[in-house]
């Protein structure tokens, strides 16, 4: 691991900062590919302070910052024991968000966050990781394929009023 980069759990009292940071990263990643009104509606819904506070106090949700010199540059959120019929009887975790600020792309920050998620999942006896990734985000799809995730299905994702398709991808850990 890069000694300049630290990964730490986001605390509930950091909800406002984490909401803004997460919304900024999502916008930076997807705004140019989507209608501005749809982005505005999605950001207001997904990253409002009440929703982030709820996530940070949910015992099944874990959010982490990747920081350099105490400045957040990436983040990951995973949800343990998510209810998905295909995983009946299997302890699973969803990687719900994994983003790195564009200024830090190609510096292995995403890889550090992914390895952190895998290590954390293994320590917590999780058998499977899964995620949804926008079908048009080839860079992310390639990243997940490199980490051993496989496409297992397609699910709808609504961004504002725009109904999009996400690939469901899974990685068996045990």
User: Whole-structure pTM over 0.85, yes or no?
Assistant: yes
In tens, the pLDDT along 18-36 reads 999 999 999 999 999 999 9
For residue 85, the model assigns a pLDDT of: 43
Q: Is residue 161 part of a domain?
A: no
For residue 125, the model assigns a pLDDT of: 87
Q: Is residue 30 part of a domain?
A: yes
Q: Is residue 154 part of a domain?
A: no
CA angle 100, 156, 104 (to 5 degrees): 5
DSSP one-letter code for 143 = H
Count of beta carbons in the 10 Å neighbourhood of residue 27:
17
More confident residue, 90 or 17: 17
For the sheet containing 162-172, what is the strand order?
A: 5-9, 61-68, 71-80, 92-100, 128-134, 162-172, 150-159
CATH code for position 10: 3.40.630.30
Among the residues of the chain, which ranges form H helices?
A: 15-30, 36-46, 49-57, 109-123, 138-146
Q: Is residue 157 part of a domain?
A: no
C-alpha dist (Å) from residue 22 to 50, 52, 118, 147? 14, 10, 21, 23
Phi, psi angles (nearest 5°) of residue 103: -60, -15
Residues 6+ apart with CB under 8 A from 148: 171
Q: Is residue 37 part of a domain?
A: yes
- Cα separation of 106 and 61, whole Å? 27
Number of domains composing the chain? 1
Q: Is residue 61 part of a domain?
A: yes
Range(s) of the domain holding residue 29: 5-132
CB 143 within 8 A of CB 109: no
CB 10 within 8 A of CB 65: yes
Residue 84 pLDDT grade (very low, low, confident, very high; cuts 50, 70, 90): low
Q: Is residue 59 part of a domain?
A: yes
In tens, the pLDDT along 86-133 reads 555 678 899 999 999 999 999 999 999 999 999 999 998 899 999 999
Q: Percent of the chain at pLDDT above 70?
A: 94
Q: Is residue 114 part of a domain?
A: yes
């Amino acid at each position: 691991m890069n000694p300049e980069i630290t990964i730490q759990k986001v605390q509930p009292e950091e909800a406002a900062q984490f909401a803004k940071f997460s919304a900024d990263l999502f916008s930076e990643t997807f705004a140019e590919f989507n209608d501005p009104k749809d982005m505005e509606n999605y950001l207001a819904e997904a990253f409002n302070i009440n929703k982030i506070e709820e996530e940070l106090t949910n015992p099944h949700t874990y959010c982490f910052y990747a920081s350099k010199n105490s400045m957040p540059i990436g983040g990951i959120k995973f949800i343990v024991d998510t209810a998905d019929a295909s995983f009946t009887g299997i302890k699973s975790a969803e990687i719900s968000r994994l983003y790195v600020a564009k200024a830090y792309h190609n510096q292995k920050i995403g890889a550090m966050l992914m390895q952190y998620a895998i290590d954390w999942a293994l320590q917590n006896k999780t058998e499977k990781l899964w995620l949804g990734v926008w079908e048009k985000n080839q860079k992310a799809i390639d990243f997940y394929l490199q980490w051993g995730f496989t496409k297992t299905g397609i699910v709808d994702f609504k961004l504002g009023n725009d109904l999009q398709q996400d690939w469901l991808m899974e990685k068996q850990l045990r």
